[in-house]
């Protein structure tokens, strides 16, 4: 399985890059290869944004579902707030605070200034989300904000929403994510993402165990870098997200930019860190995900 997180941290095989550069026989060809390598690096950075978005989605959905399962059992103090431990995949290093007021819920996940390790990622800061609780509603809008939030030393800025549908046309729960997000890397590189991602919950819903969940992800988006480069992305084959694996296990997306593009493919179901990128001209290179 190859997951967004892996995709975003994707590291190109050095031998492959070596072939790209050493195959050039003159300055013009070298310039083209260097430009191509930079384009691939930007695809890698966009993949890192994908990983951030995936982990954020996991955390918010996990906390939301746990809050809904325990809402009727939690006794709130006279000030309308209480702290509670989540029994699923959110580790103990995350302090979770729930505030309830006449059906309104506000949940804060505090990772602290030192941070917590979540799925091998160091996360610092806070995620705060709120929603109006209505167990009978077909749709619930979850709004969330990131406060001094860092993901593996990358500063992440977002104030976004997730629309939960109780049952889509396939009879499955579905989450539609607004993809407005800005990421600033430690070296100052910055990129923004706009678009929509739909996460369909295809397995594990209602089991009470978050780790058996499987999601299929579709959608499209545009990534804009501070140097003016723009990449468009469209998921061609649903990305299969099995929570027990760090990688997407299958699926593909099309990535295009002026004079450059291709298809990033996560494979056919194995939980491994191997993927491929096929250029528009048909040339294919292996990708090793970190």
The secondary structure of the chain, three-state, reads: CECHHHHHCCEECHHHHHHHHHCCCCHHHHHHHHHHHHHHHHHHHHHHHHHHHHHHHHHHHHHHHHHHHHCCCCCCCCCCEEECCCCCCCCCCCEEEEEEECCEEEEEEEEEEEEEEECCEEEEEEEEEEEECCCCCCEEEEEEEEEEEEECCEEEECEEEEEEECCCCCCCCEEEEECCEEEECCCCCEEEEEEEEEEEEEECCCCCCHHHCEEEEEEEEEEEECCCCEEEEEEEEEEEEECCCCCECEEEEEEEECCEEEEEEEEECCCCCEEEEEECCCCEEEEECC
Confidence of residue 282 (pLDDT cuts 50, 70, 90): very high
Q: Say whether pLDDT at 1 is over 50.
A: no
Residue 234 clears pLDDT 80, i.e. is over it: yes
Which span out of 9-18, 40-49, 128-137, 161-170 was modeled with the highest average pLDDT? Answer: 161-170
State the chain's mean pLDDT as an integer: 80
Within a domain: 213: yes
Q: Please state the length of the chain.
A: 290
Residue 88 has pLDDT above 70, yes or no: no
The answer to the question of residue 102 being in a domain is no
Among 141-155, 175-189, 244-258, the range scoring the smallest mean pLDDT is 244-258
The contacts of residue 206 (CB under 8 Å, 6+ apart) are none
Residue 8 has pLDDT above 70, yes or no: no
What is the distance, to the nearest Å, from the Cα of residue 265 to the centroid of all Cα atoms in its chain?
A: 17
CA dist., res. 277 & res. 256, Å (int) = 12
- At residue 3, the pLDDT reads 40
Please compute the mean of the pLDDT values over residues 78-106 and round it to a whole number: 72
Q: What is the mean pLDDT of residues 20-43?
A: 52
28 lies in some domain: yes
| Average of per-residue pLDDT across 158-172 | 92
Percent of the chain with pLDDT over 90: 45
Range with the lowest mean pLDDT among 72-81, 155-164, 248-257?
A: 72-81
How many folded domains does the chain comprise? 1
Looking at the domain assignment, is residue 241 inside a domain?
Answer: yes
Q: What is the pLDDT of residue 24?
A: 29
Q: Is the pLDDT of residue 216 over 90?
A: yes
For residue 264, being part of any structural domain is answered with yes
The mean pLDDT value for 162-169 works out to 93
Q: Are 145 and 162 in contact (CB under 8 A)?
A: no
**Is there a domain that residue 178 lies in?**
yes
| Domain enclosing residue 218, as ranges | 4-66+136-141+154-288
Tell me if 35 is assigned to some domain: yes
Lowest mean pLDDT of 8-17, 155-164, 253-262, 279-288, name the range.
Answer: 8-17
Domain assignment of residue 149, yes or no? no
State pTM to two decimals.
0.76
- Is the pLDDT score of 125 beyond 70? yes
């Amino acid at each position: 399985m190859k997951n967004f997180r892996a995709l975003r941290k994707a590291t190109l095989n050095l031998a492959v890059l070596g072939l790209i550069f050493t195959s050039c026989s003159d300055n013009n060809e070298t310039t083209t290869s260097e430009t191509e390598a930079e384009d691939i690096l930007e695809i890698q950075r966009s993949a890192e944004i994908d990983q951030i978005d995936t982990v954020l989605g996991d955390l918010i959905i996990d906390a939301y579902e746990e809050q809904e399962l325990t809402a009727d059992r939690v006794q709130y103090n006279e000030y309308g707030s209480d702290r509670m431990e989540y029994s699923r995949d959110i580790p103990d290093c995350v302090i979770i605070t729930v505030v309830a007021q006449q059906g309104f819920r506000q949940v804060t996940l505090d990772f602290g200034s030192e941070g917590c390790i979540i799925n091998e990622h160091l996360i610092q800061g806070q995620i705060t989300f709120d929603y109006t609780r209505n167990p009978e509603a077909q749709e619930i809008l979850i709004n969330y904000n990131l406060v001094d939030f860092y993901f593996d030393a990358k500063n992440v800025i977002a104030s976004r929403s997730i629309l939960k549908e109780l049952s889509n046309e396939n009879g499955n729960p579905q989450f539609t994510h607004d993809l407005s997000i800005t990421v600033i890397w430690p070296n100052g590189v910055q990129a923004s993402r706009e678009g929509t991602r739909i996460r369909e919950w295809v397995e594990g819903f209602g089991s009470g165990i978050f780790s058996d969940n499987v999601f299929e992800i579709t959608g499209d988006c545009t990534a804009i870098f501070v140097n003016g480069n723009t990449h468009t992305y469209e998921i061609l084959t649903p990305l299969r997200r099995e929570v027990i694996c760090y990688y997407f296990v299958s699926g593909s997306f099309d990535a295009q930019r002026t004079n450059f593009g291709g298809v990033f493919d996560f494979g056919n179901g194995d939980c491994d860190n191997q993927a491929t990128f096929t250029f528009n001209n048909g040339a294919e290179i292996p990708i090793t995900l970190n």
